[in-house]
Amino acid sequence: MRMSINKDSRASVRVPVKWRADVMAGDQSRLAIKVMDVSEGGLGILSDEPFEVDDMLELCIAIPLKSKPGRFNIVRVAGRVRYQVLQRSQFCMGLEFSRIDASTREIIRQRVAASVVRPNGSAHVPDIPALPRRI
């Protein structure tokens, strides 16, 4: 599926996806969620359980391999909840990446690039800047 770049107030272009993911809890429990969209800077998720704005979440995401249907890249990222709204019976939340390794960053960059088309037909996604390290 391809989409055109649209102007909005976000720093990164979002593309719709249908990915499965788990929120990892400190006690080794997992909560299944859905990833609705992805960008260079974060994710949009749907969850049956709410999380508070500014909560830090550890996610394990299954990113489908385009070249091998039914196979997945399993990646781990961390993100901060930036907003939360109730949408029907689920909570829609926006997460900003706070920790993402270089290989996962590249997988996401390529998936966004493959889904974004400029009006002239060329695809373009700028480089993802490195995240600052916290001490």
For the chain, the structural domain boundaries read: 12-117
Output the CATH code of domain 12-117.
2.40.10.220
CA torsion through residues 17, 82, 89, 5, sign: negative
Question: Taking residues 7-16, what's their average pLDDT?
Answer: 71
Q: Is the pLDDT of residue 56 over 50?
A: yes
pTM of this prediction?
Answer: 0.76
Q: Is the pLDDT of residue 121 over 50?
A: yes
Of the candidate ranges 31-45, 51-65, 114-128, the one whose mean pLDDT is the lowest: 114-128
What is the secondary structure of 14-25 as a DSSP string?
A: -EEEEEEEEEEP
Read off the pLDDT band of 118 (50, 70, 90): low
